[in-house]
Structure 1
Amino acid sequence: MTMLLSFIWITLSFCPEVLLEPAKGIVYFSTDNGQTWENTSAGLPDNIFLSDIAVAPGLLGLTTKQHGIFLFNFAKSEWSTLATIPTTDEIDALCFHQSKILVGTKNNGLFISSDGGKTWASFNRGLKNLTIRKLTYLEQKVYAGTNGGLYVLQESTNQWIPEHEENGLQVNGMRALDGDLYAGTNRGLFKKSKGGQDWKQIMPGRSLHNLGVDRKNIYALTYSELFISDDKGASWKSDQAGMPPKYTFQVIEKDNTLLAGQWDGVYIKHGLLGWALSNQGLPKDFPVLELVVSGNTIVAGSSQWSR
């Protein structure tokens, strides 16, 4: 035993990376604006396929394509599973709204729970397309992005009303900036100006899988490059400097710090110097599919990592 302990000590002394390599997880928290990260995956099964993360005051949840829905217990610092929704279809979207939980599926539309996820009911009234790609709460309304356009929840009638219907229009991301609404789609970027009624295509010819905003800019996340607009979508320029030539999953802002989820981790923007990797505490080459702000914490999520 003494010889074994001596061998381990010598090995670690000459190979410090053995100590420095963090345990691989699925979800990581940062409480210092992305400078360092802590594995916060307790309660999650190994090798899940993460599909969405949603936040609300006092709530943090995530969906997986085949392993169900999980809520984070802040007191215990661990995840717990919710009751299974009544479908075997893949789960792709999550949203919290007025003590209700909404989830969207690949082919069977939406389900809603009013009792904290104990029971679920179908919630598709008004929807003409049941492939739900994104659920977002913006400007005091809930929006559903589908494969047939964008819908908004009309709460007085408890049904979905078409905002911008178009056959084959995949709505992948939605954001608001200064009262204007933006929808990122497979057919470019659409904008609805504050007080307006119509959606105008402002970035044709590009397929967008997501959008991001900060206090004054909007970010178009295409499948080949990250673009930024400082004039509400009138003009665009590349914002890829400092990141690898791969598409960006997420762009968020917290406390004037801009962060991006990329294929090899989290990047922080440093003004004119561009983006720089900020992966202390994250596994090497950790693809950050989801990146959200929950209170004072930034949450980064990936998929299929065994702890």
Structure 2
Amino acid sequence: MVSSKNKMFLLSNGLYSSSDGGFKWVKSQSFNDQALTLAASGLNVIVGNYYGVSISTDEGESWVHKSPPVYGGSGLRIQALTINGNRIYVGYNFGGLFYSGDGGFSWKSTADSITSASSISSLFFDGDNVYAGTSSWSFSLANLYKSTDHGTSWTKIKNGLKNSKVISNARLGEKLFIGTNGNGIFFSNDNGLTWQESNQGLGSISISSIITIGENVYAGSSDGGGVFLLKSGGNRWDSLFDQLTDIGVTSFAKIGSKLFAGTSGGGVFLYSDSDGTWQTRNNGLMSKIITSLLVNDNQLYATTSRGIYKSIDSGASWNRLNSDLTDIYFLSLGIDGNKMYAGSVLNKIYISTNNGINWTDSVSVIGRINSIAIKNNSVLAATDGGIIGSFDKGITWRYIFTKVSHFIKVSGEKIYIGFSDGLFYSDDDGIQWHQINILPDNYPNQHTYLALETYNAYIFLSAGSEGILYSGDNGVSWKSINDNLASRYPNAYSNVRCLSVFNNYLFNGTQEQGIWRRDINTITNFKIPKSFLLEQNFPNPFNPSTLINYEVPIKSLVRLEVYDVLGRKITTLVNEEKSAGIYSIQFNGYKLSSGVYYYTLLANDFIQTKKMILIK
């Protein structure tokens, strides 16, 4: 998106303009070219496409097509452009940089020395100076160049700036900011002579856009990290999105009094027990897609979509381990002394015998390697093709089960495995396996078990569509503990991907609804109800929402419905099979008028109705 003198323009399957600050957008009828890039200056707007540029001198009311010279294999495909008055620079997809000083009527080639092996990825003016960002298959050719003489000569910028593809820029006073593809943000106080990183709170991520509003700087990430704010005079970026409310959570890890969460787009977060908030810990991570977290010897490890990382300072900084396995998408990790086992999406397990410096591929399997567990001499991996095991520390491997498993976990003296047809454990390092029957009240075993956590004699289990189950007797009997979790997001309990007990709370990370927690004491003191019960809503009277609690002694088809005084059904709050347990659900009457309403619980042969009063 760019701004001319009086309008805003953006590209989205066509060219759109707004003259009221972005409240209303109008698609241009006079511009039908397939557009790739966009720039504006004063009343001038320029669009780059597959066969040149289109220029408007009246803010998009009319357009004139201009064709810079054809460059090599690029044809006329314009990758980047910038405009300042009548001065225009255009960059090509496979190299080539041309300059026009008369609004596009005539063109001259410039800077062949910097484009012979690179694409022009970005162009921007900063006063009378112009900058060109290049990109290539090689990081050594991803650089930033500066010209102070209308493109006649160019200087590569080195001082403090990493080899990076530059994709965004902004200026605030004396500071010039640039956003890169994978190395975060850099700034210069001396018109580009020297550069410094500005990645505190941000990490080494891709920055697709930077803007300044007043004295503040805003940055948008294309890695799924959202929008960040650098306040006036500050040196740390703050995330502006609700970090862990609507994000996928893949894993938990604990170091002493610290709890970490890995996410599928936001990177790594550290929990603050004092105020219940989460802070990002992404400095040094090239990817914010975290597939697993692991703690070994008080050091934190993360597998990501772009390799394996290690932190020795509780996530404050990260260093990549697998320099000879660049950009492999890893899902799992196991560590035994200086020997490491890493599972990838490429159907392979890689082994390092020197703490991750060098790696060799050990075994190929069917499907992804979802989880790895190590106990004594046994190394076990849960894959899409089954459970494979090595009982000689990775020298030889064999299949133990040939069915899909999502997790394998060591807890105490036991190893647990979850399948779609049950939960299994071994107490002899994986030689023999025993099934745990999760069958209270005819509970079916056919569920996908996704995560497990143990706490003293208690087992907590994510059981797919049945939500979170709890056993207080080492798996002999089970209870559902989904109350209040499912009432807020109907699918939250069936998407729990990881569990952790921390500071007397059970934390669960969901696929799309962030992190939830529950006081462990409210669970371990839990008893199976002896009979069906519908409690009085609270508060009552209410405005506009109230909580309804009910109890289910055996697995039953449960319906909870709300009626008005004439007996007309207002809504159905619950209509599903429920395991034995205590449940809560919120009823919101914001669309209803004040008055008396009734709610009815129906389960097996049980029917009970209670009255509630809405007062607005």
Q: Does the alignment reach a TM-score above 0.5?
A: yes
Q: TM-score, normalised by structure 1?
A: 0.69
2:329 and 2:344 in contact (8 A); partners too: yes
1:167-246 equivalent positions in 2, closer than 5 A: 169-177=367-375, 179-193=377-391, 197-203=395-401, 205-229=402-426, 232-237=430-435, 239-242=437-440, 243=443, 245-246=446-447
1:14-53 equivalent positions in 2, closer than 5 A: 44-53=243-252
With over 3 angstroms needed to count, the CA separation of the structure-2 counterparts of 1:156 and 1:89, relative to structure 1, is closer
Matched, 1:278 2:460: no
SS in 1 for 2:359: strand
Matched, 1:268 2:465: no
Rounded to whole Å, the distance in 2 between the matches of 1:113 and 1:102 is 6
Residue of structure 2 in register with 1:55 after alignment: 254
Q: CA deviation at 1:66?
A: 1.4
Q: CA deviation at 1:184?
A: 1.3
Counterpart among 74, 82, 87 of residue 273 in structure 2: 74
1:70 and 1:81 in contact (8 A); partners too: yes
Matched, 1:257 2:465: no
More relative contact order in 1 or in 2 (CA 8 Å, sep 6+)? 1
With over 3 angstroms needed to count, the CA separation of the structure-2 counterparts of 1:246 and 1:98, relative to structure 1, is same
With over 3 angstroms needed to count, the CA separation of the structure-2 counterparts of 1:105 and 1:200, relative to structure 1, is same
Q: TM-score, normalised by structure 2?
A: 0.37
Residue of structure 2 in register with 1:124 after alignment: 322
Rounded to whole Å, the distance in 1 between the matches of 2:418 and 2:378 is 18
With over 3 angstroms needed to count, the CA separation of the structure-2 counterparts of 1:289 and 1:196, relative to structure 1, is closer
Residue of structure 2 in register with 1:144 after alignment: 342
Letter of the 1:289 counterpart: R
2:308 and 2:330 in contact (8 A); partners too: yes
Matched, 1:133 2:335: no
With over 3 angstroms needed to count, the CA separation of the structure-2 counterparts of 1:157 and 1:136, relative to structure 1, is closer
Q: CA deviation at 1:249?
A: 0.9
SS in 2 for 1:62: strand
Letter of the 1:267 counterpart: L
- Percent identity over the alignment is 20
Q: CA deviation at 1:206?
A: 0.9
2:250 and 2:263 in contact (8 A); partners too: yes
Q: CA deviation at 1:282?
A: 3.6
Structure 2: tracts of 5 or more residues without a match: 1-241, 517-616
Residue of structure 1 in register with 2:449 after alignment: 248
Residue of structure 2 in register with 1:305 after alignment: 513
With over 3 angstroms needed to count, the CA separation of the structure-2 counterparts of 1:116 and 1:75, relative to structure 1, is same
Superposed CA offset, 1:107-148 (max 9, x none): x22233444444444322354881211134456754322133
Letter of the 2:468 counterpart: V
Count residues with an aligned counterpart.
Answer: 262
Rounded to whole Å, the distance in 2 between the matches of 1:150 and 1:65 is 22
1:92-103 equivalent positions in 2, closer than 5 A: 92-98=291-297, 100-103=299-302
Residue of structure 2 in register with 1:28 after alignment: none
Letter of the 1:56 counterpart: I
RMSD between aligned residues? 3.5
Matched, 1:64 2:281: no
Q: Which has more radius of gyration?
A: 2
